[in-house]
Amino acid sequence: MVAAVLEGANLTDAFERMQAAHPDWSEASRGAVRDLAWSTLREFRRGGVVLDKLLHTPPAIPIHALLLVALLRLRQRPEQAHTVVDQAVQAAASIMPGLKNLVNGVLRNALRQREQWPVWEARDPEARHGFPRWWIERVRAAHPAHWEAVLAAGNTRPPMALRVNPRRGTVQAAIEALAGAGRSARRVDNDALVLDAPLPVALLPGYAEGRVSVQDAGAQWAAGLLDPQPGERVLDACSAPGGKTAHLLERADLALLALELDPQRARRVELNLARLGLAAELKVADCRMLADWWDGRPFDRILADVPCSASGVVRRHPDIKWLRRDTDVVHFAAQQAEILEALWHTLAPGGTMLYVTCSVFDEENAAQIARFCARHADAQRLPIQGRPDLQLLPDAEHDGFYFALLRKRA
Peptide bond into 241 cis (omega under 30): yes
Q: Is 189 exposed, middle or buried (0-12, 13-18, 19+ CB in 10 A)?
A: exposed
Rounded to whole angstroms, the Cα distance separating 356 from 391 reads: 10
Q: Which is catalytic among the residues 238, 287, 308, 358? A: 358
E-strand stretches of 154-226: 161-164, 185-187, 193-195, 212-214
Q: Strands 401-408 and 212-214, how do they pair?
A: unpaired
Rounded to whole angstroms, the Cα distance separating 251 from 167 reads: 8
Rounded to whole angstroms, the Cα distance separating 172 from 77 reads: 40
Rounded to whole angstroms, the Cα distance separating 239 from 265 reads: 9
Number of DSSP helices (H) and strands (E) in the chain, helices first: 18, 12
User: Which candidate, 376, 395, 396, places its Cα nearest to that of 404?
Assistant: 376
Q: Is 275 helix (H, G, I), strand (E, B) or coil?
A: helix
Say how many residues make up the chain. Answer: 410
Rounded to whole angstroms, the Cα distance separating 247 from 224 reads: 9
- For 391, residues 6+ apart whose C-beta sits below 8 A from its C-beta are 360, 365, 366, 400, 401, 402, 403
358 is catalytic: yes
Rounded to whole angstroms, the Cα distance separating 366 from 219 reads: 18
Rounded to whole angstroms, the Cα distance separating 180 from 176 reads: 6
Rounded to whole angstroms, the Cα distance separating 33 from 39 reads: 10
Active site residues per annotation: 358
